[in-house]
Copies of this chain bind each other. A is one copy, B any other.
């Protein structure tokens, strides 16, 4: 594990002025969520530690909360294009990696560096209810802290995570007449009892 010795003091994340990034977060995510703002600094930090040169990037978020939106706003990786995966380990960490080799950079919140930032610490460990939080103070602390509170480490992903899985051919389900991946069997998962619907 390396400490972050390359703090970005330019008032930007991924070359976007922080104010503009905050506006984009509000538009896309629906609120100025502290987790997405902090996520912006984390994506920025990961980029700064990636090797220079042309690599095709994929991303992994270790939580389904907030971080996926920072990744979708600041990288080419989205859920729908398949370049962002969410593995919901409940950890506020992300990884940007070379999709051909699985080698990349993981960024996480280093809990030992939170002491000088009491509002971030209270928010991060859910020590206060939302009503008790001071959003403005919290956002100020996040902008002051930037990636100072983050750790960064090189990682290599397990092949089953980063290798592309092809779905193979599709066919029409004999029950609902919708299309589904033939590899799922004689009928679609909906009709075989895995439907998310009651009716």
Residues of A within 8 A of B (CB): 28-31, 33, 35-36, 39, 60, 62, 64-70, 72, 76, 78-83, 86-87, 89-93, 95, 102, 106, 108-112, 124-126, 154-158, 161, 167, 169-172, 177-181, 184, 188-190, 194-199
Contacts and interface: CB of A to CB of B under 8 A. Distances in A.
A135 to B, nearest CB: 16
Counting every copy of the chain, the complex holds: 2
Contacts of A194: 89
B196 A87 contact: yes
Contacts of A36: 80
Contacts of A30: 76, 78, 81, 83
B72 A179 contact: no
Nearest to A79: B68
A50 to B, nearest CB: 16
A195 B196 CA distance: 28
A109 B179 contact: yes
